[in-house]
Amino acid sequence: MFGIGGRYNYYEENTRKNRKINSGNFITSLITSLIVGALLLILIWNNIIPIPPRNDSVSPGVDSGQKEIDPDIPQDIRVPNPQQIGATISNPTDNIVNVTKSVIDGVVGISVLRANVDSIFDSNTTEKWGVGTGVVVSSDGYILTNHHVAGGKNKKLIVFFSDGTTMDGQTLWSDSVLDLAIVKVNATGLTAIPLGDASKLQVGELAIAIGNPFGLQLQRTVTSGIISALNRTISIDTEQGTNYMEGLIQTDASINPGNSGGPLLNFRGEVVGINTVKIASAEGIGFAIPINVAIPIIQKFKDTGTFKEAYMGIFAYDREAIPFLEQDLKLDNGIYVVKVDQDGPAAKSGIKKGCIILEVDGKPVNTMLELRCIIYSKNPGDVINITHIERETGKIVTTPITLSEKKGDGLITR
């Protein structure tokens, strides 16, 4: 404590004290920092990797890891137990395989023998077999296909089943404009494919087509793709001239000659459409007729063994087809009447060319396909109420029409 000569060295003593104090402060700060850091590390670690709850408080019947909630805690402040969420990614190929297995016995080949002759007195008459596909829609022998496969006059119609058996068939009904036909074979216990609802389809969902491309040598070929678009309108050539098919389903599943009349299926293995045409100048573009329009026809055949088609006597186009007809016409809702049978029920009730049909029995109608679905569900003699815009006055009126029975297969098909 004393320096040279015995004098008290204040500076030296003070320096020693400061060193002791600083050393103590450093050690204290270091310990404090370590404790705080450890607490932060534990907190962060628990947020990143939650510590699972103990199992010692699990009640009987409660899954392991789920603590029993105290019933005395108010419902609005209870904290839910953590749930482990898992996602299963299915393989689309597996789904296609399963769908194919479930429906393949309900897909048939159809071969039709027709005479190529312009006159019954033509000595150069030749015969030609045509090939297409069909869908068994009831176990007692009703088969749905295209008109251009089984419609019109033919000398013989043979149906080929998946087990190798063949049966003679008969065309009971067909419509050239709609391009659908019903064929009947004398059989029971057939595998029928369930029918779906085309109105619930979404663009981008799975689509599976099955048919007999290029003849019976390639029977029941399966192709897959997606629903590319809905409610398409295309022009076609029929016996009555150029016509327009509306409300079609567009798909990129390959549809080739011989696929006509085969099913377009959804991922549940339900028929949502009947394959009908492919654009010759494009690849990956095929079309199918929505199954909804055929369902009331099929049901009447199954219930009564016959189908008496109700007839209204008009032909109309929706807004998708209007640009083909009148580019200046703007149609937001309804269907535009372009042809009227002057001897039909609609003409007798005042419906004229140029009228816009908005509703039938209170149901909105925006496509000819929707109108067909309603008319097919009716019987000759039924009365329907048509809400339409009059061509001359522009007024909205409701007109009752008594349906008759359709005769023949002309251009005016409803």
Q: Which residues are catalytic?
A: 148, 179, 260
List the one residue out of 378, 381, 343, 379 whose CA is nearest residue 360: 378
Side-chain half-sphere CA neighbours of 62 within 13 A: 13
The tokens describing 337, both together, are 């009447």
Specify the DSSP element, H or E, that contains 46.
helix 10-48
Dihedral-angle region of residue 236 (phi above 0 means left; psi in -120 to 50 means alpha; beta otherwise):
beta
Report how far residue 139's alpha carbon sits from residue 347's, in angstroms, rounded to the nearest whole number.
Answer: 41
How many C-beta atoms surround the C-beta of residue 93 within 10 A?
9
The tokens describing 253, both together, are 């599943």
Which residues lie across from 386 on neighbouring strands? 360, 399
> Where are the extended beta strands (E) located within 31-141?
107-116, 126-136
How many C-beta atoms surround the C-beta of residue 321 within 10 A?
22
How many C-beta atoms surround the C-beta of residue 171 within 10 A?
21
Q: Identify the sign of the CA torsion 402, 408, 411, 414.
A: positive
Whether the Cβ atoms of residue 395 and residue 327 lie closer than 8 Å to each other: no
Residue for token pair 């049978």: 341
Side-chain half-sphere CA neighbours of 142 within 13 A: 20
The tokens describing 346, both together, are 């609609």
List the one residue out of 98, 133, 145 whose CA is nearest residue 291: 145
Report how far residue 41's alpha carbon sits from residue 37's, in angstroms, rounded to the nearest whole number.
Answer: 6
Burial letters 337-350, b for 16+ CB under 10 A, else e = bbebbeebbbbeee
